[in-house]
Amino acid sequence: SEAADEQKFCLQEVLDTYRLCLSPEKEVYLEHYVAGWRGLVKFLNSLGSVFGFISKDAVTKIQILVALLNGENGSQYSTLQSMVKYELDNGLVDLTKRGPHPDSGCRTLLRLHRALRWLELFLERLRVSTEDSKTSALCAEAYNESLAQHHPWVVRKAAGMAFLVLPGRPTFFEVMNVGPPEQVVSMLGEAVPLISEVYKITEELYAEHNLLDLP
């Protein structure tokens, strides 16, 4: 059915959104950045309801950014660079403690940005993994090296438990919906550098403006 089609994840689609993410001047388009996360959330949802608390948070953050993009100042949000400039110039970001702007684009995107580092590390591990590799271990390693450092104990604990029920590598590759394992591996080889570049550009932008620790 059409509805099922819409829900069906395809890694190629996500790859395409990351391809569209960068402007010729290496600015990051928010619209495509958000679309990338939408695709990934689809994937996560297809893995089962245990991941609901993760996808729910991702969806909330996606919705905040979409509302800004479609809002009356939407044109200021076309790229991450323009978003940062606009929100900082207009005092729309809580810089040191929670305040009147708990849902700024800058702080919301920072959470997804940190998760993008997890994704980069996880996909790279998947790419070089062997048939008998455990996805749960690859995922946990990537998480501990990245996002975990920003999460309190309860969240780390819950995430760790969710990882344990991740399907094995064969099922995982099937859900990606790109064909035989060799093809998945080669597509991951294309995806990881793209994701990594978007991550790096965002990281530099945030570092330059001292935004890496936004509350």
Distance CA 163, CA 160 (A): 5
Question: Using an 8 Å Cβ cutoff, are 89 and 78 in contact?
Answer: no
The amino acid at residue 115 is A
Nearest residue (CB) to ligand 1Q0, 72 versus 147: 147
Minimum Å distance from CB 58 to ligand 1Q0? 4
Minimum Å distance from CB 24 to ligand 1Q0? 26
Nearest to 104 by CA among 67, 75, 70: 67
Distance CA 214, CA 52 (A): 25
Minimum Å distance from CB 201 to ligand 1Q0? 19
Nearest residue (CB) to ligand 1Q0, 74 versus 160: 160
Minimum Å distance from CB 14 to ligand 1Q0? 5
- In the numeric block, which tokens belong to residue 139? 């995922």
Strand partners, 22: 28
Nearest residue (CB) to ligand 1Q0, 24 versus 100: 100
- In the numeric block, which tokens belong to residue 49? 């309801």
Nearest residue (CB) to ligand 1Q0, 11 versus 68: 11
Q: How many other CB atoms are found less than 10 A from the CB of residue 80?
A: 23
Q: Which residues bind ligand 1Q0 (CB under 6 A)?
A: 11, 14, 40-41, 43-44, 53-54, 57-58, 111, 114-115, 118, 139, 143, 147, 155, 159, 166, 176
Minimum Å distance from CB 156 to ligand 1Q0? 8
